[in-house]
Chains A and B, each alone.
Chain A
Amino acid sequence: MPPVHKDVNSKQRQYEAMVRAWSADLYRFAFWLCRNEALAQDLVQETFLRAWKNLDALRDAELAKPWLITILRREHARLYERKRFDTVELDDTVPEDTAWASPERSGDAAHVRDAMMKLPNKYREPLAMQVLGGMSCDEIAAATEQQPGAVMTQLFRARQRLKSLLGGRAAAEGAL
């Protein structure tokens, strides 16, 4: 792999290009991690400052996005207590065709957003890494120091939980 930058000026240019290319995606990822706009901005600021200080550690510009996500997750974990327990555990049954939230029942993006807000962190985080970060199960597993099988289960349960949240809402509104 060619080095990411050769001199100070090209390091600055490299950094600017990285900020312009990834700050929006990183902000969205941060938002879904902390569910707060102000804190998400703060996390992204801190992440890019740290990235600047450690830019020499990034050997391949292609890997910038997962690298930034890793820094951001570390920054987030440093600031917030991780609650690694979950009181209610759904079973792993695949929903029947009829239980699946149809477009009409799952509603618009705002409803899915509400459901996402209620999703426990352990499901929300890998889901954000997959959907926003474009990371594969193996990449998420490596980044979170878990087995790929465990990540598969989390992603499966994340969607299962989302659908049950959306189904519950629809039921509550008498849409079922």
Chain B
Amino acid sequence: MDCLQFRRQLMAEPRSHDPQLLAHREECPACQAFWLRTQHFEDQLEQAMDVPVPAGLADRILLAQATDARRRQMVRRRGWLAVAASILIAVGGGTVMWRQAQSHSLPVLAVAHMPKEISALALTAAIPDSMVTEGFAERGTTMRGPMPLHVTYVHDCQVGPYRAVHVVSRVDGQPVVALYMPGKMTDKPEHFSRGGWTGREIPLNDGTLVVLAQHASPDALDQAEAGWRMAIDGPGGPSLTSI
């Protein structure tokens, strides 16, 4: 091994115990000095990467797992109820009643989903439009219009039994959450206010949009709704022309 090989390998694997490497270190004073500096740099790198871990992280993970296990049990049970209900509907034709029962639960589920990702509200940096588009694409929604301004967060989430796209955008400096999930659950926009959250549930395209915020003005909710409408439905989309 020559000096160049030694230094190349050391910069790729500073903590290597390769016998050839160590042999060259012993016989070459210049490379021994290089080795010492590399170790020092690596100490600094390890120190720099050792970022503080949020307090209680492990407990929150274990809680999430316990909650998830319970929720899955519930979803399974609710799944059976849905089958039973659909049989009833097929027999009795009670579609309106069933749909109402579902629509009333969505704001509850949406608000209940918030604590899990409350830290997302603190994000202020805008993410690229492509990331937002991709987030929706993963849930089977192709965006037809331009993305709203200043989207800070996108995640695919399970909201109760629904697979949703969870996004946060900043309107007048305030975070507004939007959840979009496939399936129409309401015929007309419905407003709700619960647990410190105000929001609305809106039929949009083939799905349902829920926008909600903690301290935002109705104007901010309007703006957020308009932004996501434009993005999902496109300019002059079906929902606009049908009004």
Contacts and interface: CB of A to CB of B under 8 A. Distances in A.
Interface of A: 15-16, 19-20, 23-24, 27-28, 31-32, 36-39, 41-42, 44-45, 48-49, 52, 78-81, 92, 94, 97, 100-103, 106, 109-110, 112-113, 116, 127-128, 130-132, 136-137, 152-153, 155-156, 159-160, 162-163
B149 interface: no
B58 A155 contact: no
14 contacts: A19-B58, A19-B62, A38-B123, A45-B116, A79-B155, A94-B8, A103-B40, A109-B44, A112-B47, A113-B49, A116-B49, A136-B13, A152-B13, A160-B11
B57 A24 contact: yes
A109 B48 contact: yes
A48 B130 CA distance: 27
Contacts, number: 129
Main secondary structure of the interface of B (DSSP, over half): helix
A42 B117 CA distance: 8
A112 B37 contact: no
Nearest to A100: B37
Interface in B82-136: 116-117, 119-120, 122-123, 128, 130-131, 134-135
B61 interface: yes
Interface residues of B, number: 50
Nearest to A78: B138
Nearest to A137: B13
A17 B128 CA distance: 38
A52 to B, nearest CB: 5
Contact of B131 (A32, A80, A127, A137): A80
Contacts of B30: 97
